[in-house]
Structure 1
Amino acid sequence: MKLAVFDIGGTTVKTGTFVDGKLTNLSSFQTPKTLGDLFEQMHRFIDGNDIQGIALSAPGDVDREKGEIKGFSAVPYLHKRPIFAEIKAEFGLPVAIENDANCAGIGEMKVGSGKAFKNVAFIVIGTGIGGAVFFDGKLYRGKHLTGGEFGFMTTASGKLFAQDGTVVNATKSYQAETGKQIDGKMLFSLANQGDKTAQKLINHVYDVLAEAITNLQVAFDFDAFILGGGVSARADLAIEVSKRVKARLSRFQLNEIMPAIKNCQQHNAANLYGAAYNFLAGNNNA
């Protein structure tokens, strides 16, 4: 089966063609302002290409039974409307949609760092923090479709995990403290050069991630945690977080429940793979 696959983000829509387990024709375009404009862009990748189905990764709480996406996001026109039916009517093809963090998890479970494990938590670190949970290899969506929304947990400082545990917010803190305009890559570069403020902020992010993982591990005893998002391109992310989780568990003589902690393998392609495998699992409105 030949699928057109789309990963809809607040700034960019990534796209590709999925055939026989492989992604090809990878491309992207700026996220349109309206659903009509999104459809216009999608037609460019679908029409005349012998596409047999459409698989989407999207923000929000995807309710397959009602055929809509609940919640809210940076792409408001996707929400609280019969989006499954509208896409099927527009293109005359079966459609599958799943939450973007869940898609990242599905992709990594199939062709990435999660494939060797059964009970896995994915923590996706970007502007905020999302996640996905798998028990016995199956996605756990939760009664209210919010399984894996780790970003709403609170940290020791009383902030949301999504506010306290990201490089994006660490970068904002650096700018507020120093008046210098930098991005995340520059923050790490400054830390490597000995900048004490940058080192303090990055260490704080690692500590917050370790705190959250330790609490989740004590509660659920996962086989592994997979770290995703842009910062997962740094090989030292999983290493630094692992050291801190191990130290926290050792403090309470809980070394034996130390989980594997790994960076994701597929990075930006994980959502596309996950959307495709979600479709192939029968979660479409064919």
Structure 2
Amino acid sequence: MNKYLAIDIGGSFVKYSQVDHAGNLAGSHKVKTPNNLADLTVIIEDLIADMGSDIKGVAISCPGRVDEATGIVYKGGALPFLHEFCFKQFVASISHVPCVVMNDGKAAALSELWLGNLKGIENGAAILLGTGVCGGIILNGEIIHGRHFQAGELSFMPDRIGRPGQEAYFGHSASAVGFVRQAASLLGLADLDDGLTVFDVICKQSNQEVCLLFEAYCQKIVHIILDLQAILDLDRVVIGGGISAQPIVIDTISKQYHLIRNRSQIMADSLEPIEIMACQFGNEANLLGAIYRLLIEMDR
């Protein structure tokens, strides 16, 4: 049976797995992401070598603006050392198997289109909530890249025009990490990244200030959804990222969506209600999406 190597390079960890043609992962493993390109290439080289002759292709997901045709990454997002690095050329130098590279947000959206909650959806989007807000846009059943490979970079959508610096953009104001840290600070937690305690408080409604902060955060996500809907006329939006594992996140975003939409008669009359769901895949989404892109390329 053909086996492929999927690698997801994130700001904190490099995740990897063997995957078959049907999208079945042979477990999911991770190592800490190094802070330099040399150590990263050693990790990738070792993973390819470990699979030996069984490997039939390599699929890589990473942050940054990715030219999928050439395999070159620009900027690199949280990993600036990836700027102008060509993964395809590197893999070709150590192996004769095909390689694809794609942006992490687009990979997550593609996994949902292939096997998840965007399957069968002609026009949809995945919104991924983490340190910033990234995502992928599906139009006419195809992932949209854009002329400069940055379609779906929702972090750069303006939130508060006229505010200085990064605070003017949803990448800051709709950051899930930022929200959790704000809430943890209000609760006096020693660990500002203790999301489990924050959401335990929210679910129990035991702190009104934190609950109001959470409601305001969900409204930010609704504004992103409404902007996308107004421009693209989407059928469904799926929400991913670590906090999407909390059912109250999707429930509250959906509730706030209908409240805000119905608050304006013009909006209620003009915009059809959109479906809002959680992404089906969590930490495996980028691995699966990258593999799907590889299979598409190999079938051509």
TM-score (norm 2): 0.88
Partner of 2:196: 185
Equivalent residue, structure 2, for 1:242: 254
Shift of 1:178: 5.7
Deviations 1:33-90 (A, max 9, x none): 3333223323443225310111000110111344310123232332213332122212
Out of 191, 206, 209, the position equivalent to 1:197 is 209
Q: Distance in 1 between matches of 2:298 and 2:36?
A: 25
Tell me how far apart the structure 2 counterparts of residues 199 and 65 of structure 1 sit (CA, whole Å).
46
- The structure 2 residue matched to 1:270, chosen from 276, 280, 285, is 285
Question: Which whole-Å CA distance do the structure 2 matches of 1:251 and 1:174 have between them?
Answer: 27
Name the CA distance, whole Å, in 1 between partners of 2:38 and 2:230: 47
1:164-194 deviation line (CA, Å, top 9, x unaligned) = 1133112332355565333222222223251
- The within-5 A match list for 1:1-286 is 1-21=2-22, 22-49=24-51, 50-156=54-160, 158=163, 159-177=168-186, 179-181=188-190, 182=192, 183-191=194-202, 192-253=204-265, 254=268, 257-282=272-297
Structure 2's unaligned 5+ residue stretches are none
Structure 1 residue 117 displacement after superposition: 1.2
Q: Distance in 2 between matches of 1:102 and 1:189?
A: 31
Cα deviation for residue 195 of structure 1 reads: 1.0
Letter of the structure 2 residue corresponding to residue 281 of structure 1: I
* Alignment check: 8 A CA contact 2:66 2:101 kept: yes
Q: Which is further off, 163-172 or 137-146?
A: 163-172
Change (3 A) 1:83 1:201: same
Unaligned segments of structure 1, at least 5 residues: none
Residue identity opposite 2:178 in structure 1: N
Change over 3 Å in CA distance of 1:48–1:31 after alignment to 2: closer
Deviates more, 1:84-93 or 1:9-18: 84-93
Distance between the aligned counterparts of 1:196 and 1:283, measured in 2? 53
Q: Does structure 2 retain, via aligned residues, the 8 Å contact 1:6–1:57?
A: yes
Matched residue SS, 2:289: helix
Q: CA deviation at 1:240?
A: 1.2
SS at match of 2:225: helix
Cα RMSD (Å) of the superposition? 2.2
1:95 is displaced (CA, Å) by: 1.0
Question: Is the Cα contact below 8 Å between 1:96 and 1:283 reproduced in 2?
Answer: no
User: What is the CA–CA distance in structure 2 between the aligned matches of 1:73 and 1:155, rounded to whole Å?
Assistant: 20
Distance 1:174 1:232, change over 3 A: closer
How many residues in Structure 1 have an aligned counterpart in Structure 2?
285
